Every structure is written in C-alpha cells, then in structure tokens.
Structure 1
Amino acid sequence: MRSISARPDPLDAVQRLARIVPPAARLWPATALLVGDTLAGIGFAAGISGAVVQVAAGWGALLPWVVLVVAAGMVRGGCALLAARIGAEAAQRTKRGVRAALVTDLLARAPGGRATTGTLLATCVDEVEALDGYVARFLPARSAGALAPLLVLAVTAIASPIAAAILGITLIPFVAAMILAGGAAAEESRRQFGALSRLSGLFADRIRALPILLAFGGEQREAERLGTASDDVALRTMRVLRVAFLSSASLEFFAALSVALVAVYAGFNLLGLLPFPVPEKLDLARAFFVLALAPEFYLPMRRLAAAYHDKQAAQTAVERFPDVLFAPPGVTVAALAPETAPRITLTDVAIAYPGSDAPAIANVSIDIAPCEIVAVVGPSGSGKSSLLHLLLGLAPLSAGRVTIDGVDLGAEISLAAASAWVGQTPLIIPATLRANIALAWPTATADEIEQAALRAGLGPMLAARGLDAPIDARGGGLSGGEIRRIALARALLKPSAVLLLDEPTAHLDQAGEAALVETIRAACRGSTTLIATHSAVLAAIADRIVSLEPRA
C-alpha cells in the first residue's frame, strides 16, 4: 500500500518540522521531567540556605536540611536521566517513521532524476539523523524553558522582590543575545550541512564505483576530490563552532552577571550598606536562598541555547526532504491480489519518462490469457523492460489502458503485490543464502525456502554449502547462473499469480542457459507469465512471442 497525493503548497522549515514530528513525540513527559528538575533545584536551594543558617545549631538541626539537599540532588539526577531517555526514544520513533516514508517515496519515483545514489543515501541517513537532537533535546528544552524560569522567578519574588526584579531585568539582554546568536548561526549551519551532505553523497558514490576507479587508475584524482570536499566541510564546521563559542560566551556572561548582581545586592542588603533605600530587609536564610536560586533561573534557557544548534540542523535537513513527506494523506493505492492467474490486457499503451524526448514504447496492445506465457522480444531500447516495469508501477502509463481481469491498472491500483519478479541485475545482500531467498517472502518457513531453492535448481549449491552459506554484497564465489537462480528462487517462494521475468538468462553460457530455461519452464506453470528476452532459446518456451520495435 502506498499513498498518492497532490503536490503540497510550499512550507517553511518550521511548518515542515511540525508535519513530520508526530504528536506522540511532543515529549510532554520529558518536559515535565525538566520542570521537575527545576522544582528539585528550588528544593536544593532551600536546603543550602537552611543548612547555612543551622550550621551553628549542631547536627540535630542541620540534618533535615542536609537530607533535603541530598534528596533534591538525587531527584535532579533522576529527572535528567529519564528526560534524556524519553527524548531519545521519541527521536528514534520519529527517525524510523521519516526513513520509512523517504524510502517509500524513493522506491515510488520514476526512473531518472538528478539525484545520485550517494545523495539519496545521505538524505536517508545523515539528514534524517539531524532530527535526533531536535526531538530528543530541543523540543523538551523549549517547552521547559518557557515555564521553568517563571517558576523560579515566582519563588524568588516571594523571598525577595528586588532580587526577582534583578533577574527579570537581566533576562532582556540574555534573550537578545540568544536571538542574535541564533540568527548568526542559522546561515553558517545551513552551509555546513549542505557541504556535509555533498561530501557524504560523493563518498558513497565513489565507494560504489571503486572497482571502476581502480581499473582505470582514477583513485588519486578522486581521492583529491574527496579531500577538497572534506576540507570544505572542515572549514564550514569551524565557522559554525566559532559562532557557537561566541554565542555561548555571551550567554554565559549575562547569566554570570545576573548571579553577581543578586550576590552583590544580597550581601549589601545583609550588611545594610546599600547606597539607596529598598522596601525589604533580608535575613541570612533569604539571602542565601535567592543567591542559590539565581543560577536556576538561567539553567533552562542555557539548556535551550545549547540545543539551539540541533534546531538549526533539523530545519536545514527538512528543507532537503521531498515535498511528498509533508503532504496530507491522499488516495490509497489498492493492491490487486488475484488468487488465480489473471488475464492481463494492454490496449494502445504508451510509456514516456519525464525529461525524455521520445516515449519508451507507444501503441502497444497485448492480450495475455490466464496461465499463458508471452515472450516480448526486440533489440535493446525497444522498451521490453519498461513494459514489465509498467505492471509493477515503476514506469508511468502515459497513454492507453491496462486491465487485470477487467480492472484498470492505474494510479490507484497496483499489481506488485500479486507479482513475482526477476530483474536483469538480481540484488544480492550481504547475508546468508537463506536470507537472500527470503527477501521475497520474509514469513516463509525454512522448508518453503529450501523447496524454492531446489525448484530453482540450487540443489548442488545447497549440497555443497547449505542454506546458511554466507554471501557478500557482490555475490563473491557465486557464478552468474547461481545468482540468477537465487533471484528465480525468490520468485518461486512468493505466492503469486503473475510472473515477470526480465532477461533472466542474460550473460549465461549455452549450457547454463539451457539448464535455467528448463527451470523457468517449470516455474511458469499456473502463472500468467511475461518474459522480456533476447534469447531465442528462452522465447521458444513461450506460448506466444510479441516483437517490439525501437522508438526513434
């Protein structure tokens, strides 16, 4: 199932973040814990002030205040730990959901486009990872930063209105410094993130092409290119750190200034040395209490300032996500899953890819009866693969009509769930033979996987290596025929009424092709089968052959 929707209106980064961070990740438990940390800080300040006053009275009077200090410290540690854990779990859920949506969008894209494999990989890994700090740290810190200072200010006002006024006045330049620092850091962060994304994409693409680079002696040139990109990232990262250090220094200055002013006021008030009259006279307990509370007033905002870079990184990342992630729910695509082999009818079908001057195929009409085997032949470029991709939803239907047992195949109907597919270049993952075959049907039992492997002609391989034989990502140690038989075993494992084969015998020698053709002949029984091939030997097993001509 996938969702089709109209292109959404342009959204700014804040709106995009609001769309992809689900309500469950608003982190009210983490916010509550951070506010609880502030309340425990108030208790800690009360314990300190009470202990100072009772020092001369002996352990009997001092002990309750010491217990309060220790208990408050333990509560603060527990609140911080639980808030971090809740934030991390919410961030993990958010990243998992965004990555799933990104992969779904990438798989549904039409072939072509300007994005490289490395760029797409960087989007799904690095750019999604930038959401971690935003969800785990910034969101709870922002909510707590709006409430916790007010609590501290209110409690301080009860003990000393003048001290509370000092804290409130010094808050103005503190907020101004945060705004200026955030504005200065935003653009530098955006540039640094863009450079990091380019480096990640370039590195992934070069790793993918490493055998070609080594074969043609291009490793030195590409190493220099990667070095240049790396230096660019390092330069931009230092600019971000420079802004971060300056902003941090300014924030710490105003926070320290407020504590110093409260300390000076409390001390002079106690000594009666204030050069101006005030409507209050502090005792030792109240003076120590407001002095201990002063750092607590700025702690939530300092925590927010420390996480502000996470917000900038997340905003920069979501600007690079495709618009489809921020669209409202659209039309649900129904999955056709006929229990028996269906009739597939193509009438005057045309496929034109975006940006292409000519259609891949045009005016193609084929009527495939249930359980019939049809071979599609033609020279390279005639559109054989595109025809199969159309049935899987991987190619656009530009004109004409496709029906499955009379049901139109289009934007709201997909045949992929009912199809078994063997492509030109079978995917091999770094895992066991068992895991590679089970890609088609993860819930299959061990016996079902083994039977599919035997039906695909992998008996000699099973006898020699077993289903748990390790396979690397490039299929090292496997012949071309074995790789194609693994792909065929996947198709046989999946319960399906339609079998789509794209050049399944390409690049095999005569003996290997003949053996695989017999396996394919047996696999086609009971399924409506469409085979794209250049091979006359494979085409000979078909009930009918359809020839395509290349488009000009």
Structure 2
Amino acid sequence: MTRLAGTVLTLDSVAAVGFAAALAYGLTALPRGLPAAAPWLALGVVSAAARGACGFVSVCTGAEAARRAKSILRDRMTRHSLALPLGQRPETGALMTAAIDRVETLDGYIARFLPAKAATAGLFVVLVATAIASPIGAAILAATLLPFIFLMILAGTAAADQAEAQFQAMMRLGAVFADLIRALPLILAFQAEAAETTRLAHAAGALKRRTMVVLRIAFVSSAGLEFFAALAVALVAIYCGFNLLGLIPGFIQPFHFGHLDLARAVFVLALAPEFYLPMRRLAATYHDRQSAETAADGLMAIAAQAPPAATAPLTLLTAPRIRFDNVSLRYPGHDRSVLDGFTLDIAPGQIVAVLGPSGAGKTSLLNLVLGLVEPTGGLMSVDGQVLGSLASVAGSVGWVGQSPLITAGTLARNIALARPGATSGEILAAARQAGLCAMLATRAHGLQTEIDERGSGLSGGERQRIALARFFLNPAPLLLLDEPTAHVDAASEAALVASIAKAARGRTVLIATHSPRLAAIADRIVRLEAE
C-alpha cells in the first residue's frame, strides 16, 4: 500500500501541472471573454480537486499500510520477546519499549517517508513540463537542485549519529519509566522515591539534550531547503521578467530558445514552487527514516536472539504420560542446578503432588512442562514426544497458579478468558463447578459484577476459583497447579481442595505444593530436597 500511496502522491505533481496551465492560460484568455477562459477555469477546478483527492488518498493509504505493518511486527516482536530464554531476556521495560515504542517509530517511515520518497518522481514531471515551456527555466531549477541535494547529504550524515543517540535516550527513558511503574509498591515501601526520581530526571534530561541537537540539525537542513527553493523561484521570476521585456543578457543569448509569451511565463513561474514540493515532503520526513533505522536495529537484535519458532504445538486429546528422564536444569548466571538428574514417570490420568521447601525446584518442573524453560540435561517427553524449543504442549494445559491473572471487567469476562466465545450458560456452569456459587450470592450483579485489574474485593480463594472456572470452561487433559492454596485460610483451602479434586478427575495432574491437605488428593507424592 505504500507503493500506492507514493503513486497517488506522484499524481499530485501531474495535477499541479494542470493547475499551473489553467492559471496561466486562463488569465491570458480572460480578456477575450469568459467563454474563452471557461475551459481553463474548469481545468483549474478539476486539478485543484484532484490535488486534494491525491493528498487525502495518499495519507489514508499510507496510514493503513503503517497500521498493518505495525500490527504484524508488534505481534512478531511480542512472540520473539516471550520466546527468549529467561536468562537472555532484557528487562521488562526494555521489552515493552521494543514492542511498543520501537515499533511505533516505524509509523512515520511507512506512512510518510516511503510515499514521499516514491513521489520524488513528481519532480521530473514538473521539470519536463517546465522544459517544454522554457528550457532555460528548467535549467535554472535543475541547477539550484544540485547544491540542495549536496546539502541534504551533509545534513543527513551529520544527523544520523545524533538521531540514533536521541532514539536510544528515548528508549532508555521509556524502559526506566516502565520499570519504575512496575516496582512502584517496592519503591514506596523502602522510601526510595527521591533516588528514583533523580534517576528518571537524568534519563529525561539526556533525552532533552539529544532532541535539541537533532532539532538544530533539522532546522539547518530546513533553512537550506527553503533558501534554495526561494532562490529557484526568484531566478525563474527574474528570467521570465527580463524575457518578457526583451532584455535577455548577452551570455544567455546562445542558449535562448525564443521569446516567452505571457502565458508561458506565468506557467513556468507557477510551476517553480511545485518543483521543490516533493523535496520538501522528503526533507520533512527524513527524520522518520533515521528514527526507523535506529529502531529497526534494536528490533532485529531481539529477533536474532529468539529461538526458532515451533513447527507446530502438540495437541493433547487425552490425559498424557509425562516422563522426566535424568533431567537437569540450571538457570543462566546461577552456580548450582535447580534440578539435577531428576527422573519421574507420570502415568496417564495420574495425580502427582510435588512437595519440598522453597527453591527445591517445584515450580521449575511446571515451567519445564509449559516450555518456559528448557532442560540443560536429560530429556522430557509427553506421550513419547520429546519437548524442547521446537515443541510445546502449552495450548493443551490447564494452569492454576498462586496469583491467577485478573483483568478489568466483569467476573463473567474473566472466566471467559479461557474461551471467549462461551455462552452465559456455559460460564455460569463453569462457575458453579468451581464452587463460586457462595461468592455470586453475595454480589447483586452476580457474574456481571465489575472488578478492576487488581481484583479488588476478591479473596485469595475466590481468585483461585476463578482460575478453576476457566479450566472447567475449557478443560484440558493436562492440569498444572502451582501452590493454588498458598494464600487462603483453612476453611477456604478445604473447599478449594474439593474443587481441585473434582477438576482432576480423568486428567493427568502435576501439583507443586506445600499443603499436606492438597497433597492428600494425589495418587503419588514426590519430594524434592533443596541443595
């Protein structure tokens, strides 16, 4: 679509030639009466309308092309970021700025710079039309263009490094701000507001300084463009004036191709400003190109780190067999292994509870099954299929963790995250299976009760029941639970354990827990010891 936007913008130069012809020949025809000038006036109206339409269509198609490209790239970068091994991932703020700010920087490049670059062909359209009317006028325009191109090259070279530094400063500020927001409760708890405010101020100050340097270079290049554009119009006007008066200087006489009449003189003079219009558009969007190139370098760096995409996710239709065969796991930057030579065979439909102190590797076992980490030694398989970077069963897993995801909206919408197309009846049935009836009875709007993204008003047990309701709404043959009763009282735990036992029937279940009551529903208990 950027090519279409550029083509439409080039047609604007053709319409400009038509408008200049209508202006020149219409004015000279007016003394002969309105009928003689009417065709030229009609051409002027059509040309003006065409120019407006070309500008509108170019902007719309360029914006749509940018929207599509950003959507595709943002999705790709998010997938690449999440696919990075935990030890290789940049900070959360850096990933956020990559997927949001860096991708957003491409908007100007796609929507404005690429069409403007393609539309520079309109410069030759104007030059040819001018040459037909006055070769000397065309030569004057071409002569003033050469030093301007040289100036743009110098300004572009000078601005490249500064633009990259400015963009890096902007990315750094975005990353710092995102990380501060994420850590805000901790900052307030340790009264570190002053130190973090100073750090944020330093990042903002660096961005300000870099931006001012880039703006100074942009102003210089813009002033150069305006100077040569004004010079071209002035020289063409002087030439046309002397030609009409018959006062052509002697050194131009050998190159003079005849006397200009008033119509051609006005035509050439009207086209002179249009000659520089494509270059004005390109110069105005040149900073978008530099910013996009800098952003693209960062995006490509993340993409280069990402592992190969999975060929196809493994779809489980029945309760699977899970095998850990001499599995070892060591996180990057750590001296010791979380798991070392771990072996376990979980039969289809079996409930296994993994007990052990914090740091023993219980959650790491679940992460291995989900594909969030890869074993550094040994093999892990599901139904005989070895899992790794090219295979994942995440789409066939029911997950209940210590802190279930809660989003702003209704209770029904939160449950329906598991299956957005579920009907109200199906959502209600899932809520009942998860034991949410007592909670719903205390809320006037039932499932339509609004909650915020923090889940204000929900107890720990109610959050876990919402996660279980999601599982009931879209049951999977494999259920993984990570300390689902960690933040509930004894009475809530007993009711929650009963709901989990109901959910576990006929499925392979792996539970990481400290709770003896939850472990009691397991067919098998495995104990891990911290090293």
Quickly name the TM-score band, shorter chain normalised.
over 0.9
Partner of 2:188 in structure 1?
A: 214
| Residue aligned with 1:541, SS | coil
1:410 maps to which of 385, 388, 398: 388
TM-score, scaled to structure 2: 0.95
The alignment partner of 1:321 has SS state of helix
Task: Note the 1:333-372 alignment, pairs <5 A.
Answer: 333-372=311-350
- Aligned residue for 1:173? 147
Displacement of 1:283: 1.0
Deviation track 1:160-216 (CA, whole Å, cap 9, x = no partner) reads 111111111111111111111212222222122111112112222222222222333
Contact 1:353 / 1:396 at 8 angstroms: preserved in 2? Answer: no
User: Number of residues paired by the alignment?
Assistant: 525
Describe how 1:376-455 pairs up with structure 2 within 5 A.
Answer: 376-455=354-433
2:87 counterpart (74, 90, 112): 112
Q: Give the structure 2 partner of residue 11 of structure 1.
A: none
- Please state whether the residue corresponding to 1:336 is helix, strand or coil: coil
**Is the CA contact (8 Å cut-off) linking 2:15 and 2:47 kept in structure 1?**
yes
Shift of 1:324: 5.6
Tell me which amino acid in the other structure corresponds to 2:9: L
Corresponding residue to 2:239 among 257, 265, 273: 265
Q: Secondary structure at the match of 1:520?
A: helix
Q: For residue 51 of structure 2, what is the amino acid of its counterpart?
A: R
SS for the counterpart of 2:299 is coil
* Corresponding residue for residue 513 of structure 1: 493
Task: For 1:40, give the aligned amino acid.
Answer: A
Greater displacement, 67-76 / 483-492 = 483-492
1:238–1:60 distance in 2 versus 1, CA, 3 Å? same
Conserved 8 A contact 1:109-1:394: no
2: distance between equivalents of 1:168 and 1:361? Answer: 73
| Equivalent residue for 1:74, pick from 13, 28, 49 | 49
User: Is 1:314 matched with 2:288?
Assistant: no
One-letter code aligned to 2:458: L
Q: How far is the alpha carbon of 1:507 from its aligned partner?
A: 2.2
Query: Could you tell me how far apart the structure 1 residues matched to 2:89 and 2:213 are?
Result: 30
Deviation of 1:326 after TM superposition, in Å, equals 6.5
How far residue 494 of structure 1 moved from its aligned partner, in angstroms, is 2.1
Q: Aligned to 2:388, what secondary structure does the other structure show?
A: coil
Q: Is residue 2:36 matched to residue 1:61?
A: yes
Whether 2:175 is the aligned partner of 1:190: answer no
Change (3 A) 1:329 1:162: farther
Contact 1:44 1:72 in 2 (8 A): yes
1:43 equivalent to 2:18? Answer yes
The alpha-carbon distance between structure 1 residues 162 and 328, as it changes in their structure 2 partners (threshold 3 A), is: farther
Q: Does 1:548 align with 2:528?
A: yes
1:445 Cα deviation from its structure 2 partner: 2.5
5+ residue gaps, structure 1, are 1-24
For 1:361, the aligned partner's letter is L
SS at match of 1:118: helix
* Matches for 1:448-527 after TM superposition, within 5 Å: 448-465=426-443, 466-527=446-507
Instruction: Report the Cα distance in structure 2 between the residues aligned to 1:411 and 1:230, rounded to whole angstroms.
Output: 39
> Structure 1 residues 405, 328: closer, same or farther in 2, change over 3 A?
closer
Any idea what SS the aligned residue of 2:327 has? Answer: strand
Instruction: Tell me the alpha carbon deviations over residues 11-53 of structure 1, each in whole angstroms, 9 at most, x when there is no partner.
Output: xxxxxxxxxxxxxx5x121111101111100001101111221
CA distance in 2, matches of 1:211, 1:144: 52
Aligned counterparts of 2:114 and 2:311: Cα–Cα separation in 1: 35
- Residue 247 of structure 1 is matched in structure 2 by 221
> Match for residue 140 of structure 1?
115
Q: Is the 1:333–1:411 Cα contact (8 Å) retained in structure 2? A: no
- Equivalence for 2:106: 131
Question: Gaps spanning 5+ residues in structure 2: where?
Answer: none
Q: Give the distance between the partners of 1:109 and 1:389, measured in 2 at CA.
A: 14
Contact 2:316 2:393 in 1 (8 A): no
Q: How many angstroms apart in 2 are the aligned matches of 1:94 and 1:329? A: 22
Q: Structure 1 CA distance, aligned partners of 2:357 and 2:200?
A: 40
1:227 shift after superposition: 2.6
Task: Report the CA distance shift for 1:323/1:364 in structure 2 as closer, same or farther (over 3 A).
Answer: same
Question: Would the aligned equivalents of 2:83 and 2:307 in 1 still touch at CA under 8 Å?
Answer: no
Q: Which residue of 2 aligns with 1:226?
A: 200
Q: Deviations over 1:236-278 (max 9, x none)?
A: 2222212111110111111111111111111111111111212
Partner of 1:297: 275
- Deviation, 1:441, is 2.3
Partners of 2:336 and 2:39 in 1: CA distance: 86
SS at 1:320 equivalent = helix
Q: Give the match for residue 121 of structure 1.
A: 96
Correspondent of 1:237 among 211, 236, 247: 211
Q: Which residue in 1 is equivalent to 2:259?
A: 281
Which residue pairs with 1:14 in the alignment? none
Greater displacement, 206-215 / 280-289: 206-215
Whole-Å Cα distance in 1 between the matches of residues 357 and 307 of structure 2? Answer: 42
- Shift in CA distance, 190/389, structure 1 to aligned 2, threshold 3 Å: same
Match of 1:9 in 2: none
For 1:50 and 1:327, locate their aligned partners in 2 and report how far apart those are by CA, in whole Å.
Answer: 63
Q: Name the SS of the counterpart of 2:509 in structure 1.
A: strand
CA distance in 1, matches of 2:125, 2:218: 28
Q: CA deviation at 1:468?
A: 2.0
Amino acid at match of 1:57: R
Q: Secondary structure at the match of 2:456?
A: coil
SS in 1 for 2:238: helix
The one-character-per-residue Cα deviations of 1:127-183 (angstroms, maximum 9, x if unpaired) are 1110100000001111111x1111111111111111111111111111111111212
> 2:435, 2:43 → 1: CA distance?
75
Alignment counterpart, residue 532 of structure 1, candidates 509, 512, 520: 512
| Contact 1:352 1:396 (C-alpha < 8 Å) held by counterparts | no
Return the offset for 1:231: 2.5
Give percent identity, aligned residues only.
54
Could you tell me how far 1:327 is from its partner in structure 2?
9.4
Shift, 1:332, TM fit: 4.1
Q: Deviations over 1:424-449 (max 9, x none)?
A: 32222222222222222223222222
User: Matches of 2:507 and 2:185 in 1, distance apart?
Assistant: 39
Rounded Cα–Cα distance in structure 1 between residues aligned with 2:165 and 2:414: 41
Whether the aligned pair in 1 keeps the contact of 2:109 and 2:289 (CA below 8 Å) is yes
CA shift at 1:364, angstroms?
Answer: 0.9
2:415, 2:466 within 8 Å by CA — same for their partners in 1? yes
Please state if 1:99 is matched with 2:74: yes
TM-score (norm 1): 0.91
